[in-house]
Amino acid sequence: MKNTILRILAATTLAAAPAALATEQDIVDIAAGNDDFSTLVAAVKAGDLVDTLKGDGPFTVFAPTNAAFAKLPEGTLEELLKPENKDKLVKILTYHVVPGKVMAADVKAGKVATAAGEELTISTEGGVSVDSAKVTATDIEAKNGVIHVIDSVVIPE
């Protein structure tokens, strides 16, 4: 489960990076190399998920940007990053990770199991969304999976 959680780290804007470079890096490396994912990377570190997300995978990570984290109610992120809330943070992060590598062309509407043991709802009407988050960039390939960028943090019930 820990390995699946780390897949959540990977992030959005890889358009500037050459495709060959992207496939040589793992999900964590890609996210860490993108300033838009600094909050996600900090959360992955706080949740001790780095080694997991650097694992073999493959993983599909729905990666929220810094702007997505900024949409959370005031104080929420700070609370989640506290050591005493690590279990809750890990559950949220792993909720953004789906085992396997699912490219945008293969996405279908419906429920999909996450590394957190909960199901995400995928919608394809008017663009792809994951629960209430819109997918804003797709198919950022890593050597251990793929990252799709989302505009909100999704929280399991």
Radius of gyration, alpha carbons of the chain: 14
Average pLDDT over residues 23-42: 93
pLDDT for position 49: 93
Give the model confidence (pLDDT) of 143-157 as tens digits: 999 999 999 999 998
Average pLDDT over residues 35-42: 95
**157 belongs to a structural domain:** no
**11 belongs to a structural domain:** yes
How far apart CA 135 and CA 88 sit, in angstroms, is: 24
DSSP string, 85-149: GHHHHHHHHHHTEEES---GGG--SEEEE-TTSSEEEEE-TTS-EETTEEEEEEEEEETTEEEEE
Give the model confidence (pLDDT) of 98-142 as tens digits: 999 999 999 999 999 999 999 999 999 989 999 999 999 999 999
Statement: residue 23 has pLDDT above 90: no
CATH number of the CATH domain containing 134: 2.30.180.10
Structural domain tally of the chain? 1
**Between residues 12 and 94, which one has the greater pLDDT?**
94
**155 belongs to a structural domain:** no
Statement: residue 30 has pLDDT above 90: yes
For 21, the domain range is 2-150
